Amino acid sequence: MFLIYFLMGLVTHASALDSCPKCGNMEVPYPLSTGDNCGDPRYGIYCKDGALEFLSAKGFYYKILSINPSAYKLVIEPPKIEKNTCYSSDLGFEGLRLDENLPFNISTHNTVMLFNCSDNVLQSPMNCSSTSFCRQFEEEEQEGSGCKGTLCCHFLKDASITQYMIRVRVGGCTAYTCVLDMKPGDPIDAWNYGIELQWVPPN
Ligand SMILES: *[C@@H]1O[C@H](CO)[C@@H](O)[C@H](O)[C@H]1NC(C)=O
Ligand SMILES: *[C@@H]1O[C@H](CO)[C@@H](O)[C@H](O)[C@H]1NC(C)=O
Ligand SMILES: *[C@@H]1O[C@H](CO)[C@@H](O)[C@H](O)[C@H]1NC(C)=O
């Protein structure tokens, strides 16, 4: 009897440690999980039509661009700014909001740019000057053209602010984008668009 329990324990344990099958041409490294029978269910992501997606707490799906399992990091695609507007496609979902009970957070390598902000955001610690990186995005990227002339700002997503959301809303800022590992002086065509998330390694 004990032996049976022991063996069953081994089997469930072993299958819980399996990594999930590839999704399209992307590996799904452990502990990320696209299904009930692989990975660790706390690290759930989605495989839809051969592409990996990350689901926010509010129900918006973000495309996963890359995964670095040894650094416990993945990069999701910033939502598109809808054509001829200054609205991010996740505006109705309050922007990117992570479930604080899940083991993911927003890393400190993200430079966030916010667009079409109302004056009251000026009080927060952001760079909203005429030399902010966001001006370059508005002026030089087609996607930012709908935001031209609006109040915009950038900030580094560091540990002094919440690591669980990038908030947009009507009456605050209505669009955003994000660049990884940005260095002052980088030309705009070298910007690496993405939002880097980090996960707590399973113990
Ligand atoms: C705002 O950011 C730009 C670009 O990095 C920088 O040149 C400028 O000094 C910053 N301004 C303030 C007030 O921090
Ligand atoms: C900017 O945001 C306001 C609401 O905060 C909205 O009414 C306006 O349409 C937005 N502008 C653009 C260009 O999307
Ligand atoms: C996110 O989680 C990782 C792993 O637990 C932690 O090391 C890191 O400090 C967290 N990031 C922030 C910005 O708090």
Residue 65: which residues within 8 A CB-CB, separation 6 or more? 75, 76, 77, 194
Q: Is the pTM of this model over 0.85?
A: yes
Query: Residue range 11-35: average pLDDT?
Result: 83
pLDDT of residue 179: 98
**Smallest-distance ligand from the CA of 175:** 2
State how far the Cα of 154 lies from the Cα of 2, in Å rounded to an integer: 60
Domain extents for the chain?
77-192
| Percent of the chain as helix, strand, coil, to the nearest 5 | 25, 30, 45
Query: Residue range 115-120: average pLDDT?
Result: 93
User: Ligand 1: does its nearest atom lie under 6 Å from the Cβ of 145?
Assistant: no
**Smallest-distance ligand from the CA of 111:** 1
Q: Which of 82, 116, 148, 168 to mutate to test the pocket of ligand 2 (most atoms within 8 A of CB)?
A: 116
pLDDT of residue 17: 66
